[in-house]
Amino acid sequence: MSTHSEITPEAIARHGLTKDEFAEIVRRLGREPNYVELGVFSVMWSEHCAYKSSRAHFHLFPTTGPTVILGPGENAGVVDIGKDKDGNTWGAAFKMESHNHPSFIEPYQGAATGVGGILRDVFTMGARTVACMDALRFGEATHPKTKSLVAGVVHGIGGYGNCMGVPTIGGNCGFDPCYNGNILVNAFALGIVRKDRIFKGTASGVGNPVLYVGSATGRDGIHGATMASAVFDDDSQAKRPTVQVGDPFTEKLLLEACLEIMTHDWLVGIQDMGAAGLTSSSFEMASRAGAGMDMDLDCVPQRATGMVPYEMLLSESQERMLMVAKKGHEDDVLAVCKKWGLEAAVIGKVTDSGRMRCSWQGHIVVDVPINAVVDDCPRYDRPRQEPADLDARRALDLDSIADQPLAADLVRLLGRPDIASKRWIWQQYDHTVRTSTQVLPGAADAAVLLVRENGARLAMSADCTERYGHADPWACGAHAVAEAVRNIACVGAEPLGLTDCLNFGNPEIPEVMWAIREAMRGLGDAAKALDCPVVSGNVSLYNTTGDQSILPTPMVAAVGRLPDGVEPVRMGFVEAGDAIYLLGRFRPSLGASRWLQEYLGHHQGRVSAVDLDAEKAVSSLVRLLIAQGVARSAHDLADGGLAVALAECAIQAQGGPRGVRCAMPSPQDSGTARHDERLFGETGASILVSVRSSQRSEIEALAADVGVPANYLGEVGDLNAAFEIGSLHAPTADLADAYHNGFERSVLGGAQ
Amino acid sequence: MRVAVLQFPGSNCDDDCMQAFGRVLGCEASLVWHGETSLPAGTDLVVLPGGFSYGDYLRCGAIAAHSPVMSATKRFAERGGTVFGICNGFQVLTEARLLPGALLRNAGLAFVCKDVALRVESQHSDLTARVAPGSQLVMPIAHMEGNYFADAATLDAMEARGQIVLRYVDRATGEPAQTANPNGACRNIAGVANERGNVIGMMPHPERAVEDVLGGTDGLALLAALVAQVSARAA
């Protein structure tokens, strides 16, 4: 391949560009692009980099608010987490990003480099990375590929994050046949940065040097962004060479070197070379500053011999940064890189030409206007079509199902890998390094992290119930936000902001595009209603294998802060005799529920209606109860409904599993007379708390003050006493066994 | 009391050790870069923190054992100075032959991060000299290669000399049990000392259990006992 390879219709198609897009490139350049330039346009106009199908709908998201320091548009968003004792304001920088396609092809490296990429996005901002979470979706537990994919992905995430010394403190993991051929790996990272020391990806100041720092460029990952923007087919395994290989040790060096460089006043801007590598970082930095850039590709550190400009510009080799330094400080930057044993080189300079000019072996190989590539890339408001079978998807006839919920149903649900303890996963992640993890994975609805810089305590949770998207993608998006906000409220935290990772199928299918917009609308509506602005995010489309698109999976990660002096609670009950209350608007529905999926073997019906006012009210109430020290435990209702939530509180009780003696909520308090629906139906806006029996009047008064239903269900029992709700009785030990060992049994084929 | 916390490029518990010895225990703690050929004047205690020293793509700690700062650390240990390695630090000390045995990949072939219960087995080390034998301590482990191995003759000799200082035990019974062994370590060994008792290595992380807010302070008790022992000898 060289600059002289012919531009044929096949070459254009291979680059994922349409005829119209190619014509537009010719129009903008006033000539045909050469082969290198075609590659540049190809990656920069890929769905992954340009958001060309989704950007038209970003206005649905609230992105501003009193907590927002930096909204979407940079490498990560930043929210205000308060001041330190010297009066400096600190921020939490965070983002979530997908690495779905690479992880399916090569689970260990795909997942590992997903973690590496998101960590770089965050420390690029000048933030010390302090926490990771990972949201995973796999195919059916019984699918022949699932076991090795789970093992490889978890191993890869651990392999990278553990070496970096960043604790992985939360996440989620689900299983559905729709992911059989297209798993999801969504990686979240959060860092802490002083507000006046936030760095941005900008290349301003004519004459300022452009520096390349980190691993040398190899031939790995070329066209990774383009691959991430295409439908999977039977040949996908042949794309293994487009998966990058991670080197967490070099990333650790890069992290420390960057943060050391950033303590000085040497840099104008910095951006990681992620998807589309040197191309996206250089074009985007120049674009943000309205500047131009000249780069000498002969100066780029290279791992392989004989590399050509096309490869250097499109490589997605990992652990690389592009920096623009203040003129005269290039040697200072290079000296720090040398200390940390990193390759670094000056490879260009900022110009006022508005063009990107790359030279190689004495020739100009790229010469294009930057805004022609970045600012005005094609955007599509793609056709949307409500699915013709939507009414059929929503239909639900429960009359044919006998209303006879059994203890065995509860045991079966608790043992499902989606619901069972994910201990097998998080024990492979270092979650206590940095000695800041106050609430450990699995112990509460959200993880809680101490921020040493200013004493703040941050809660975070990642959520999405994709089942809800089958018949109601709006509700799926809204529920994801509501659940994330509820989860952080269950440890006592106020929301500060959220990041999202929008995973969908092929946007060129109108029914999929309809679901994308509906889910985004739901996400935006809930974010507005719950005062949780969207500060960063990522879109992953074309999660389609053959003709199977995944369920809409708008993954949401919310970050909140505990008020000073408030101690977080966990989900487990505390003491025998404590009173158990169900707070909020309890309107369970078997539609789209986990129980119904187990019963029918497919998705059917519509999720319980979303009530954002009720969500806001119940989250406020639980925060108040925690702040006042009334609530001793808190856990929201989610997968599996009331019975599963209650069982989880009992299984996770302090000192070991405890029994419960609870009455069934009445039909009037539930909106349904069916026993199975009250036990296993799913609903938003509902939280279980426990309080000392002496504080029953207090909780009832506090709930009445804010008009939130507080339904007394019963009391916590002794260690290993029976689990009883209404007429459903089960030995607690059976429930605990299913919950603790269900994941290994169903996914890995046996208790470990 | 001056504590030198060694900093290899891939150390990632260096800051946690600085916090524990400095902020929590009030020692004068400083980071010492791996390229240094000498330790700061007046160093009383050298700590090798956890992490991935030089990436550990080869055997864990194999390259670190040959770093300039380890030459200085060996001289310090030969003069009787106290050297304490945690997790990767323990691995480095075995690779440097300052401690007997080796740390193999966990029997489960996976990284393990969880709380474990330990029993103090011997007072024959600066770490445990002031802790009652039989004391049970709970703190986290977080490692992929913590499976302690030495041949039976070596282990017997170490036992006889009291060099086995910490064992993984069952929390309820307080006894070593297969089910309480998180990594397959020979004889449930979690920590060992050299013959002289001035070089100690352990896989669990006491520096992660130094504050109630983090779930426990058993690690603090251990580190405080170490600091007290070293201070007393320095005085």
User: To the nearest whole angstrom, how far is the Cα of A319 from the nearest Cα of chain B?
Assistant: 14
Dist. CA A137–CA A99, nearest whole Å: 12
In B, which residues are within 8 Å of A752 by CB distance? 108
What would the mean pLDDT of B70-98 be, rounded to a whole number?
A: 98
Which residue, A732, A727, A738, A407, is CA-closest to A576?
A732
**Rounded to two decimals, what is the model's pTM?**
0.96
Q: Whole-number mean pLDDT of chain A?
A: 95
Q: How sure is the predictor about A274, in pLDDT bands with cuts at 50, 70 and 90? A: confident
| Coil vs helix vs strand at A351 | strand
In B, which residues are within 8 Å of A452 by CB distance? 19
Q: Would you say A616 and A530 are in contact if contact means Cβ atoms under 8 Å apart?
A: yes
Q: How sure is the predictor about A517, in pLDDT bands with cuts at 50, 70 and 90? A: very high
* Contacts (Cβ under 8 Å, ≥6 apart) of A409: A595, A598, A676, A680
Q: What pLDDT is stored for residue A245 in this prediction?
A: 84
Write the pLDDT tens digit of every residue in A595-611: 999 999 999 999 999 99
| pLDDT above 70 coverage of chain A, percent | 97
Describe the crossing of helices A510-529 and A473-489 by its angle, rounded to 10 degrees: 30
Contact (CB<8Å) B9/A341: yes
* Residue A138 pLDDT exceeds 70: yes
**Half-sphere CA count of B56, side-chain side, radius 13 A:** 28
* Residue A613 pLDDT exceeds 90: yes
What would the mean pLDDT of A224-252 be, rounded to a whole number?
A: 73
Strand-by-strand arrangement of the B136-143 sheet = B28-33, B2-7, B45-48, B82-86, B199-202, B189-193, B164-169, B112-120, B136-143
List the single residue in B with minimal CA-CA distance to A434: B16
Q: What pLDDT is stored for residue A376 in this prediction?
A: 77
Contact (CB<8Å) B112/A428: yes
Q: What pLDDT is stored for residue A238 in this prediction?
A: 63
| Coil vs helix vs strand at B39 | coil
In A, which residues are within 8 Å of B205 by CB distance? 432
How many angstroms from the chain centroid is the CA of residue A575? 35
Q: How sure is the predictor about B48, in pLDDT bands with cuts at 50, 70 and 90? A: very high
B205 catalytic per annotation? yes
- Which CATH number fits the domain that encloses residue B159? 3.40.50.880
Query: Which region holds residue A252: left if phi is over 0, alpha if psi is between -120 and 50, else beta?
Result: alpha
Dist. CA B151–CA B145, nearest whole Å: 17
In B, which residues are within 8 Å of A436 by CB distance? 214
Side chain identity, residue B155? L
How many angstroms from the chain centroid is the CA of residue A457? 20
| B111 touches A at CB < 8 Å | yes
Q: Would you say A686 and A545 are in contact if contact means Cβ atoms under 8 Å apart?
A: no
Concatenating the DSSP letter of every residue in A638-695 gives -TTHHHHHHHHHHHT-TTS-EEEEEPPPPHHHHT---HHHHHH-B-SSEEEEEE-GGG
Q: What pLDDT is stored for residue A239 in this prediction?
A: 64
What is the domain extent for residue B104? 2-234
Phi, psi of A395 (to 5 degrees): -65, 145
What would the mean pLDDT of A580-584 be, rounded to a whole number?
A: 98
In B, which residues are within 8 Å of A435 by CB distance? 16, 19-20, 207-208, 210-211, 214
Count of domains forming chain B? 1
Catalytic residue among B87, B121, B143, B145: B87
| pLDDT above 70 coverage of chain B, percent | 100
- The catalytic site residues of A sit at 48, 99
Q: What pLDDT is stored for residue A752 in this prediction?
A: 39
Q: What pLDDT is stored for residue A2 in this prediction?
A: 46
Compare CB distances from B142 to A340, A432, A438 and report the shortest one's residue: A432
How many angstroms from the chain centroid is the CA of residue A43? 23
Pairs of residues, one from chain A and one from chain B, whose beta carbons lie less than 8 Å apart? 83
Write the pLDDT tens digit of every residue in A282-330: 999 999 999 999 999 999 999 989 999 999 999 989 999 999 999 999 9
What would the mean pLDDT of B95-105 be, rounded to a whole number?
A: 98
State the ipTM, two decimals: 0.97
Write the pLDDT tens digit of every residue in A33-74: 999 999 999 999 988 888 899 999 999 999 999 999 999 988
Write the pLDDT tens digit of every residue in A642-654: 999 999 999 999 9
Write the pLDDT tens digit of every residue in A435-474: 999 999 999 999 999 999 999 999 999 999 999 999 999 9
What would the mean pLDDT of A248-254 be, rounded to a whole number?
A: 96
Q: How sure is the predictor about A5, in pLDDT bands with cuts at 50, 70 and 90? A: confident
Which residue, A457, A554, A549, is CA-closest to A60?
A554
Write the pLDDT tens digit of every residue in A377-404: 888 999 999 999 999 999 999 999 999 9
Dist. CA A52–CA A343, nearest whole Å: 35
* Contacts (Cβ under 8 Å, ≥6 apart) of A402: none
* Residue A243 pLDDT exceeds 80: no
Parallel, antiparallel or unpaired: strands A686-691 and A579-584:
antiparallel
Write the pLDDT tens digit of every residue in A702-744: 999 999 999 999 999 999 999 999 999 999 999 999 999 999 9
Candidates B113, B179, B220, partner chain A, best to mutate (most A CBs within 10 A):
B113
Q: Hunting for tokens 């198609």 — which residue is that?
A: A13
* Residue A750 pLDDT exceeds 90: no
Compare CB distances from A427 to B9, B114, B215 and report the shortest one's residue: B114
R_g over Cα of chain A:
26
Dist. CA A411–CA B142, nearest whole Å: 32
Compare CB distances from A340 to B9, B13, B57 and report the shortest one's residue: B9
| B41 touches A at CB < 8 Å | no
